[in-house]
Amino acid sequence: MSTDVHNNNTHEDHDYTTTGLNHRKMLMWAFLGSDCMFFGALIATYLVYQGKSLVGPYPIDVFDIPVTSVSTFVLLMSSMSMVLAYAALTQNKINGFRIWMASTAIMGATFIGFQVYEFSSFSTFHVDIESCAEQKVKYGKFDDYEAELCSNAKEDHVETHDGLKPQTNLFGTTFYTLTGFHGAHVTLGIVWILSLLFLSYKKGMITPERHLDVDLAALYWHFVDVVWIVIFTVIYLFGVFPFPGS
Partner 1 sequence: MSSLPIPVPNIKISRPVNPTGIWSWITTVDHKRIGIMYGITAFILFLSGGIEATIMRLQLAGPELDIVSAAIYNQLFTMHGTTMIFLAIMPLSAAFFNYLIPLQIGARDVAFPRLNAFSYWTFLGGALMLKLSWIGGATDAGWFGYAPLTSIDQNPGKGIDFWILSLQILGVASLGSAFNFIVTIINLRAPGMTWMRLPLFTWMSFITAILLVLAFPVITVALIELTFDRYFAFNFFNVANGGSVVLWQHLFWVFGHPEVYILILPAMGIVSEVLPVFSRKPLFGYATVVLAGAIIAFMGWMVWSHHMFTVGLGPVANTVFTITTMLIAVPTGIKMFNWIGTIWGGSLKLNTPMLFSLGFIAMFLIGGLSGVMHAVSAHDAQQQDTYFVPAHIHYVLFGGAIMAILSGIYFWFPKFSGKMYSEREGKLHFWLMMIGQNVTFFPMHFVGLDGMPRRIYTYAEGMGWDLWNAVATAGVFILIAGFLVMINNLGRHWRNGPTATNDPWDARTLEWSISSPPPHYNFEEIPVVRSLDDWWETKYGTHEKAVPVSGSSDDAHNSDIHMPQPSYWPAVTSLGLFVGGYGIVFNDLLFPYLFAGIGLLITVIGVYAWSLEPVNDPE
Partner 2 sequence: MSKEEIHHPTAKQYFRIAMVLSVITAIEVAIFYLEFLGYWMVPILVVLSTGKFALVAMYYMHLRYDHKLFTYLFVSGVVLATVVIFAIISLFSFGIGRW
Residues near partner 2 (CB under 8 A) are 1-2, 4-5, 19, 21, 25-26, 29-30, 32-37, 39-41, 43-44, 47-48, 52, 65-66, 69, 72-73, 76-77, 79-80, 82-84, 87-88, 90, 141-142, 218-219, 222-223, 225-226, 229-230, 232-233, 237-238, 241, 244-245
Residues from 216 through 245 that contact partner 1 (CB under 8 A): 216-217
DSSP code for 238? G
* CA separation for the pair 244, 242 (Å, rounded): 7
Nearer to partner 2, 35 or 156 (CB): 35
Nearest alpha-carbon partner for 223 in 180, 195, 191, 188:
188
Residues from 158 through 187 that contact partner 1 (CB under 8 A): 166-167, 169-170, 172-174, 177, 181
Residue from the set 1, 21, 116, 147 that interacts with partner 1 by CB under 8 A: 21
58 contact partners, CB below 8 Å, separation of at least 6: 152, 171
102: left (phi over 0), alpha (psi -120 to 50) or beta: alpha
With H, G, I as helix, E, B as strand and everything else as coil, classify residue 203.
coil
Q: Which stretch in 24-32, 110-118, 120-128, 156-164 sits in contact with partner 1 by CB under 8 A? A: 24-32
Q: Using an 8 Å Cβ cutoff, are 55 and 156 in contact?
A: yes
Q: Which stretch in 23-31, 135-143, 146-154, 224-232 sits in contact with partner 1 by CB under 8 A? A: 23-31
Residues 126, 130, 134, 139, Cα dihedral to 10°: 80
In the complex, least distance from residue 23 CB atom to partner 2, rounded to whole angstroms = 12
By CB under 8 A, is residue 246 in contact with partner 1? Answer: no
